Amino acid sequence: MSTTQQPAPPGEEPAPPEESPSYDPRTVRRAMLAGSIGTLIEYFDFSVYGYLAVAIAPQFFPGDDPAASTLAALAVFATGLVVRPIGGVFFGWIGDRWGRRKALVSSVLCMGVASSLTGLLPTYSQIGVFAAVLLFITRLVQGISSGGESVGAYTYIYESAPPQRRAFLGSVTPIGSNLGFMFAATTAGAISALTTKEQMGDWGWRLPFLMAVPLTILCLWARLRIEDTPEFKQAAERADIPAAPIREVLATHRTALLQSVGLAMAQGGAIFLGLTYIGIYLTTNLGYDTTQVYWLSAGVVLVTVLLMVPAGRLAARFGCKRVLMGGLLGFLVTAYPAMVLMGQDSLALAGLAYMLLMLSSAFVQVPAASLWPHLFERRVRYTGMAIGYNVGTVLAGGTAPYIAAFLVDRTGNLLSPAFFVMLVCLIGIGSLLTVRKDV
């Protein structure tokens, strides 16, 4: 982050050097809690749709071909991420102009309302094709809010932590997001176990979305108790706030934008495929029991979460770039063998393969969480991250489940999603090699 002082005009005294902001331990703890809870709720709300896509599909897209119905439901999932850059620009503008706290509170409130309404939607049998339109609208609202949520949490925690602890404390945000995935899988598994297939289709799928009401209230409680980050408060006192953050980031941070897009494509493509598509693949393509797959997914995510603290310690010791490179290489070399092992007609082997594929996840998510905000200066950090991260996620992240299902459907090759993972990892590795500064 640059602290270079501009030269004073002739005849004026030079401005005093910027003082480093102070970091109160109590404020840091509150920042960690607010950031992690928010991302937990965001990814629970957003990913539960992916876990329930097979149950949701016939309710909104009925038809004789289950594969086509599932593809339609996954297309709606993908459109929720297509609008993420719009949400990122909007909430980035709020965050860079009016404060990180205001952006974080408004984004999670937007997500919670949209998720709650999804659980109340009428189905195709009740109002016809208009049901799919309403589902599409609620997913768009979720996508817009998610465009500001993750990057807001990354920014807030990065700026709230002392510089020497940023690489380690950056693990808090991905821990929250993965716990959201795990909570979604566990909830879907519990409801699937306690209901029949008919009950799941009639009303069971609604319950996880309605859980957004208490979860959103919890997150608002945590976020309304926090203050803005020390860096932003210091900048606000000096009136050092960008008038047009979008224009400024496009003019001064083009390289950082391209780097963040490439890294987001790699992380999103590999991890969204593992966390959302694999469950659908195991049930739809390989025929495993839905409830067992839900619990298997939850167990895999739990292992990923447990690896995040060690990943944070490694990032603090060896640097975020090295750990991130190791994680991307891990995905690159394990994607194909994992998909091969997954198809060996054994749920135990499928679970082992799933674990093998996702072991690298922590070593990608944790260092990236601190490296992304480090690419941008404070003035445009929120907006810069929002554009780069969300564009990359749109290109290869949220579309990953749809692309994987499409590849399998069109080629008939159950291993084809592995090549997609390998491609996005190569893009991420190329982007990382251009990054010169480390956390």
Residue 22 has what pLDDT?
A: 66
The percent of residues in the chain predicted with pLDDT above 70, rounded, is 94
Residue 101 has what pLDDT?
A: 92
User: Hey, what domains does the chain have and what are their CATH numbers?
Assistant: 26-433 (1.20.1250.20)
Residue 264 has what pLDDT?
A: 95
The percent of residues in the chain predicted with pLDDT above 90, rounded, is 40
Residue 280 has what pLDDT?
A: 80
Residue 19 has what pLDDT?
A: 58
Residue 281 has what pLDDT?
A: 86
pTM equals 0.83
Look-up of token digits 């290109």: 395
Residue 16 has what pLDDT?
A: 44
- 98-156: pLDDT as tens digits: 999 999 999 989 988 998 999 999 988 899 888 888 988 998 898 899 888 889 999 99
Residue 74 has what pLDDT?
A: 73
Residue 21 has what pLDDT?
A: 67
Question: Do you know the residue count of the chain?
Answer: 439
Of 307, 388, 427, nearest in space to 92 by CA = 388
Count CA atoms within 13 Å of residue 62 on its CB side: 10
Structure tokens at 410: 């069109």
- Kindly give the parts of the chain with pLDDT less than 50: 1-17
Helix, strand, coil shares of the chain, percent, nearest 5, are 80, 0, 20
Residue 31 has what pLDDT?
A: 85
Q: What is the DSSP letter of 203?
A: I
Residue 14 has what pLDDT?
A: 43
Phi, psi angles (nearest 5°) of residue 243: -75, -35
